[in-house]
Amino acid sequence: MNEIYKKILAQSKSMFDELIQIRRHIHQNPELSFKEFLTAEFIRDNLRKVGIEYKTIAETGTVALIGKGEKCVALRADIDALPINEETNLEYASKNKGVMHACGHDMHSTMLLGAARILKGMESELTGTVKIIFQPGEEKLPGGASNLIEEGVLENPKVTAMFAQHIFPEEETGTISVNSCYIMASADELYWTLKGKGTHAAQPHLGNDCIMAASQLVINLQSIVTKYKNPIKPGLLSVTSIQGGSATNAFPDEVKLMGTFRANDEEWRSKMHDEIRRITNETCSLFGIKGELEIVKGYPALYNNPETTEMVNQTAKELLGQDSVKVFEPKLWAEDFAYYAQKIPSTFWFLGIRPKDIKDMPPLHNSKLIPDEKALTIGAAMLAGTAVNYINNFN
Active site residues: 80, 138
d(CA 315, CA 381): 10
Burial class (CB in 10 A: 0-12, 13-18, 19+), 278: exposed
C-beta of 337: minimal distance to Zn ion in Å? 9
Residue 312's region, left for phi above 0, alpha for psi from -120 to 50, else beta, is: alpha
- Site size toward Zn ion, by CB under 5 A: 1
The smaller minimum CB distance to Zn ion, of residues 103 and 338, is found at: 103
The verdict on 103 binding Zn ion (CB under 5 A) reads: yes
Q: How far is the CB of 292 from Zn ion (least distance, A)?
A: 29
How far is it, in rounded angstroms, from Cα 191 to Cα 304?
A: 30
Nearer to Zn ion, 103 or 376 (CB): 103
Residue nearest to Zn ion (CB): 103
332 binds Zn ion (CB under 5 A): no
Q: Give least dist CB 262 to Zn ion, A.
A: 15
201 phi/psi in degrees, rounded to 5: -65, -25
| Nearest CB to Zn ion, comparing residues 192 and 339 | 339
Residue range at the interface with Zn ion (CB under 5 A); choices 101-109, 111-119, 274-282, 295-303: 101-109
Contact stretch for Zn ion (CB under 5 A) within 99-107, 217-225, 237-245, 254-262: 99-107
Nearer to Zn ion, 100 or 103 (CB): 103
Minimum distance of Zn ion from residue 9's CB (angstroms): 26
Closer to Zn ion by Cβ: residue 71 or 101: 101
Binding to Zn ion (CB under 5 A) within 345-364 occurs at: none
Quote the least distance from Cβ 369 to Zn ion, whole Å. Answer: 11
Q: Which CB atom, from 211 or from 375, has the smaller least distance to Zn ion?
A: 375
Nearer to Zn ion, 306 or 363 (CB): 363
**Interacting stretch for Zn ion, rule CB under 5 A, among 22-30, 44-52, 98-106, 294-302?**
98-106
Count the residues in the chain.
395
Q: Which is nearer to Zn ion, 103 or 383 (CB)?
A: 103
Q: Which residues pair with 243 in a beta bridge?
A: 256
Shortest separation between residue 167's beta carbon and Zn ion, angstroms: 8
Strand 176-178 versus strand 325-327 pairing type: parallel
- Exposed/middle/buried for 65, CB within 10 Å: 0-12, 13-18, 19+? middle
Q: Are 353 and 167 in contact (CB under 8 A)?
A: yes
Using DSSP's 3-state secondary structure scheme, residue 254 falls into strand
List alpha helices for 292-347, DSSP H: 306-320, 338-343
Q: Is 185 in the site for Zn ion (CB under 5 A)?
A: no
Taking CB under 5 A as the binding criterion, the range among 64-72, 97-105, 262-270, 367-375 that sits at the site for Zn ion is 97-105
CA–CA dist 349, 338 (Å, integer): 12
Distance CA 35, CA 47 (A): 20
Q: How far is CA 261 from the centre of its chain?
A: 16
Query: By CB under 5 A, which span of 100-108, 181-189, 237-245, 316-324 interacts with Zn ion?
Result: 100-108
Distance CA 174, CA 43 (A): 25
What's the closest the beta carbon of residue 145 comes to Zn ion, in angstroms? 12
Sort strands 182-184 and 302-303 into parallel, antiparallel or unpaired: antiparallel
Q: How far is the CB of 250 from Zn ion (least distance, A)?
A: 41
Rounded Cα gap, residues 88 and 329, in angstroms: 28
Q: For residue 372, give every residue at least 6 positions away whose Cβ sits within 8 Å of its Cβ, in sequence order, or none.
A: 173, 353, 354, 355
For 85-109, what is the HEC assignment?
CCCCCCCCCCCCCCCECCCCHHHHH
Among positions 243-302, residues that touch Zn ion (CB under 5 A) are none
Residues that bind Zn ion (CB under 5 A): 103
